[in-house]
Structure 1
Amino acid sequence: MNPNSLWLIPLSPFLGFLINGTVGRRLPRPLVTAIALFFTAVPMLLVLQLWIFMKAAGAPEAIHVLCGPWIQITGFTVPFGIAVDHLSLIMLAIVTGVGFLIHLYSAGYMAHEEGYWRFFAYLNLFMFFMSILVLAESFLLLFVGWEGVGLASYLLIGFYFTKDSAANAGKKAFIVNRIGDFGFLLGMFLLVAHFGSLSFNEVFASIATHPEYQGGFLTAIALCLVVGATGKSAQIPLYVWLPDAMEGPTPVSALIHAATMVTAGIYMVARCHVLFDRSPFALGVVAIIGAATAIFAACIGMVQHDIKRVLAYSTVSQLGYMFLACGVAAYSAGIFHLMTHAFFKALLFLSAGSVIHALSGEQDMRKMGGLRKRIPVTFWTMTMGVFAIAGIPPLAGFFSKDEILYQTFVSPNPIGKLLWLVGLATAGMTSFYMFRLWFKTFFGPERFDEHPAPADHAHKDAHDDAQAAHAHGVHESPWIMLTPLVLLAILSIIGGWVGVPAALGGHDEIGHFLDPVFVAPLVVAVDGEKAGHGLELGLAAVSVAVALLGFFVAYVFYYKRPGTLGKLAATSKLYPIVANKFYIDEIYNVVIVTPLLAFARLILEVLVDGGLVNGSGKLAGLTTIGLSNVTRKMQSGNIRSYAGWLAFGAACVIAVMIFARF
């Protein structure tokens, strides 16, 4: 394979963005669709070819394509290039494969939306920046992709820009991510100060050749990078943008907030594992943030009624699992869960979109019920996603989630057992709220309007098929939407089989595949092999039991005795707190947003408007008045005054001529 063809992976969707973004308005919709799909299929096929090539080569080395220096000043050079190793290859496969399926689904979901060409242009732009992020050979180029996916996310979340909540959600995502990006920039500045480079190879090679580098400035750099990761991957305290991002179209949620962009923080931490391995403190911070976020978001997800918001908080919680894995140096387990999560969470979001499509825009689960016979394909595919994320064997989520819990339990982290307990509790809560969603949506009496009013698509997140809704009532989605669901359901079933551990009779293929990337840590080591297979099987059994307990509780309260929990919630003092998301947004608004806005208004109105703008205007006016007063006296009508001014002017001219000679 020609290494230079790697550039086609990001450039292909960028070309699709240019075409649809410039002339797409004047093109017929089928042609817009064909352009968007073709330029996302090309990188998917290239990644498949690259996968075959790297497997056949059997070499652990990465493929580097350098195009010379990008920034070159005295003592500091940043090369412009891309690189592919086993880690980035897995990420590319997820981004291009799942991304293509979501593009295909979008062709049906968005078929009657205004701005169809604009939507696909934004999707292609996102694919371009995400590919750049994964392929980057340096921190600087990674940061370009990092910022680019933030821009594309802002555009896609605010796609329904005439709707205030969508526009505000886009701005919120953009601003919160800028806070995290500030930390990322500080980390890059520290890298330049200490290593004189932003190239991954040079920085990591320097760390590897200096065993005395432990903690200290490495901890400072790692913590700055963690701030960036908490913003992009929606972890405490910067998680607040992700639930509101559900205001965008459902395919956007599946693409950006399930399969790609939100995993960028996990990918970055895993990519920088050489740096984090030298700082046990930074790893501990990552683990604690991940565990806290996982259980915190799961609590909120248990009481949400909007089907997309349940999945949004589920995403935040599952990202916490991945952070937890990285925090105990189980990077392969974190990437494994990242992969399986991309399958079943994209499936769940797209299935939710199919449900919303069937109900012409309804997202409240309290107005659903009994849909399993109305939309059977959506029901069975979503069932696979629900069972996968709940950790029911032998589906994908069981293997990846249990690997994280096992590695956490046997890690040398002083609070590893406590973190494992938090992760186990989160697994039970995840099972409960996902089966709650399943029962409320597909079982029980039908609580929806058979012939709803047509959706106002300037204010609804749904595929507008009002004519079909009125003609046929609740209806199954077209096959252009169902085909990606079926494929993702298959991946949600078998996707975890590549990581079956030896204790369960497997060979952990994905762990061995990533071995060339994640060399043995120098400080933090996971001594899981010492624990034996018996412990791993025991922990897996406990995890399955907890997942089944979550299913049983949801079965009792939302199938056998519906309404029981509603009565308990009405008398509970804790329920309103959780239902209002622990008032975190309100606290942020009072403590941070309002004072900043007041300070900004003070600067704007007092210093800028009152001082600079108004002051400069007044100064210009006073200057004009003063000059006019002087010049007015020259036009006095007095001949002696004119003669005096004439003499004064002549003297000035003579003086200039005399001094000019010298």
Structure 2
Amino acid sequence: FKALLFLSAGALIYSLHHQHNIFKMGGLLKKLPVVAVSFAIGCAALASLPFTAGFVSKELILAQVVASGHTGLWWAAILGAFITAFYSARLFFVVFLGKTQLSPNAMPTKSMSLALVILSVLSLFGGIAPEGLKTLMPQQDAEGLSTLHHWLPIILPFIAISFAWWMFKTKRFGKPVASTYMQAVHRLLKSGWAFDDIYQTIFVSPFNTLCQLNKDDLIDSFYRLIEKTSCTLHRTFSQFQNGQLRSYNASLIIFCILAFAWFISGELIL
């Protein structure tokens, strides 16, 4: 289903003048129906809604976490599942149900649509094992799951989607933040938790500094010598290509004289 989401996003960007900002999209449900349905299926699988491939994989992972006795990790996974379902729903609501701002300038090709249909089917039914539908809803006592451990992961995505729908209908997505504290939080989240700045400081800047210090080593000097030699030869021989007929005639005469002199000198030696 992740491949489905990536391909759906690619088809969407392809159809919208290569636009990447979701808040400049909207109202695309009827204009791009194949992309919209595949996107909805991908988001549903990513949110781990029941009877999707994502639900099966999430259930197995959470059951193993419970069996290992790491309660804290289980709650962290539940929180992550809630956030995932929320932003998946927000993405679909804003892009396909929001106010129309940008009309498609191209439709997905037949090969794109075929790939989306195939991946959609796999995202819906890929978790069904040969044993049948019972694999979609495993027995509660299979891993010693309590009622909370079994039902909370099932109910929570629907709560997250409902919350995202409420925020969408009340036009809270994309709304400017008034609080100074929340503005700082928004900047932090928008910067990707400042990971780009951290990588720039820790890795990129020191690497660039080392490159600047090492730019005059023997290997670079050798290649720069080749570059300068090529440029010098280019400037020298390009003077003969000046578009003036008298220069071409003079060059021809000079080379003929040199060739004749070389021929005569060779004859004299022999």
1:496 equivalenced with 2:127 (yes/no): yes
C-alpha spacing 1:569/1:549, structure 2 compared with 1 (3 Å): farther
- Aligned residue for 2:175? 566
- Aligned residue for 1:384? 41
Which of 154, 166, 174 pairs up with 1:544?
154
- SS state at 2:51 partner: coil
Which of 175, 194, 205 pairs up with 1:583?
194
Q: CA deviation at 1:564?
A: 5.5
- Aligned residue for 1:487? 118
The alignment's C-alpha RMSD in Å is: 2.8
1:602 equivalenced with 2:198 (yes/no): no
Q: CA deviation at 1:401?
A: 0.9
Q: CA deviation at 1:480?
A: 2.0
- Aligned residue for 1:49? none
**1:239-258 equivalences in 2 (<5 Å):** none
Q: CA deviation at 1:543?
A: 0.8
CA contact (8 A) 2:25 2:101 kept: yes
- SS state at 2:177 partner: helix
CA distance in 2, matches of 1:425, 1:581: 19
C-alpha spacing 1:564/1:346, structure 2 compared with 1 (3 Å): closer
CA contact (8 A) 1:375 1:475 kept: no
C-alpha spacing 1:563/1:504, structure 2 compared with 1 (3 Å): closer
C-alpha spacing 1:358/1:562, structure 2 compared with 1 (3 Å): same
CA distance in 2, matches of 1:390, 1:583: 26
Task: Give the 4+ runs in structure 1 shifted more than 4 A.
Answer: 499-503, 611-614
Q: Which amino acid aligns with 1:598?
A: T
CA contact (8 A) 1:390 1:431 kept: yes
TM-score, L = length of structure 1:
0.31
CA distance in 1, matches of 2:48, 2:178: 27
- Aligned residue for 1:553? 163
- Aligned residue for 1:405? 62
CA distance in 2, matches of 1:598, 1:475: 45
CA contact (8 A) 1:389 1:397 kept: yes
C-alpha spacing 1:382/1:565, structure 2 compared with 1 (3 Å): closer
- Aligned residue for 1:514? none
C-alpha spacing 1:357/1:569, structure 2 compared with 1 (3 Å): farther
Q: CA deviation at 1:380?
A: 1.1
CA distance in 1, matches of 2:137, 2:75: 22
- SS state at 2:19 partner: coil
Q: CA deviation at 1:357?
A: 2.2
CA contact (8 A) 1:374 1:475 kept: no
CA distance in 1, matches of 2:119, 2:188: 36
- Aligned residue for 2:236? none
Q: CA deviation at 1:501?
A: 6.6
- SS state at 1:497 partner: coil
CA contact (8 A) 1:386 1:438 kept: yes
More displaced stretch, 569-578 vs 380-389: 569-578
1:427 equivalenced with 2:60 (yes/no): no
CA distance in 1, matches of 2:117, 2:221: 61
C-alpha spacing 1:358/1:401, structure 2 compared with 1 (3 Å): same
CA distance in 2, matches of 1:486, 1:503: 22
C-alpha spacing 1:601/1:395, structure 2 compared with 1 (3 Å): same
Q: Which amino acid aligns with 2:137?
A: L
Greater relative contact order (Cα < 8 A, sep 6+) = 2
Q: CA deviation at 1:353?
A: 1.8
- Aligned residue for 1:477? 108
CA distance in 1, matches of 2:160, 2:178: 18
- Aligned residue for 1:446? 100
C-alpha spacing 1:430/1:544, structure 2 compared with 1 (3 Å): same
Q: CA deviation at 1:562?
A: 1.4
C-alpha spacing 1:612/1:502, structure 2 compared with 1 (3 Å): closer
CA contact (8 A) 1:378 1:476 kept: no
CA distance in 1, matches of 2:63, 2:198: 36
CA contact (8 A) 1:408 1:420 kept: yes
CA contact (8 A) 2:86 2:164 kept: yes
Q: CA deviation at 1:599?
A: 2.6
CA distance in 1, matches of 2:60, 2:134: 8
- May I ask how many residue pairs the two structures share in their alignment? 218
Q: CA deviation at 1:505?
A: 5.0
- SS state at 1:393 partner: coil
CA distance in 2, matches of 1:570, 1:476: 41
- SS state at 1:581 partner: coil
TM-score, L = length of structure 2:
0.72
- Aligned residue for 1:592? 203
C-alpha spacing 1:596/1:360, structure 2 compared with 1 (3 Å): closer
CA distance in 2, matches of 1:565, 1:411: 41
CA distance in 1, matches of 2:121, 2:220: 64
- Aligned residue for 1:437? 91
> Quick one: percent identity of the two aligned structures?
29
Q: CA deviation at 1:355?
A: 1.4
Q: CA deviation at 1:477?
A: 1.9
- Aligned residue for 1:297? none
C-alpha spacing 1:612/1:556, structure 2 compared with 1 (3 Å): closer
Q: CA deviation at 1:587?
A: 1.7
Larger Rg: 2
Superimposed CA distance per residue, residues 531-571 of structure 1 (whole angstroms, 9 cap, x where no aligned partner): 53x52x6423101222112111211112x111366233764
Q: CA deviation at 1:584?
A: 1.5
C-alpha spacing 1:542/1:581, structure 2 compared with 1 (3 Å): same
Listed as ranges, the gaps of 5+ residues in structure 1 are 1-343, 451-472, 507-527, 618-662
Q: Which amino acid aligns with 2:2?
A: K
- Aligned residue for 1:169? none
Listed as ranges, the gaps of 5+ residues in structure 2 are 226-270
Q: CA deviation at 1:376?
A: 1.1
Q: CA deviation at 1:579?
A: 0.7
CA contact (8 A) 1:386 1:434 kept: yes
- SS state at 2:194 partner: helix
CA distance in 2, matches of 1:427, 1:577: 21
- SS state at 2:151 partner: helix
CA contact (8 A) 1:569 1:575 kept: no
Q: CA deviation at 1:592?
A: 2.5
Q: CA deviation at 1:474?
A: 4.5
C-alpha spacing 1:570/1:352, structure 2 compared with 1 (3 Å): farther
Q: CA deviation at 1:484?
A: 1.1
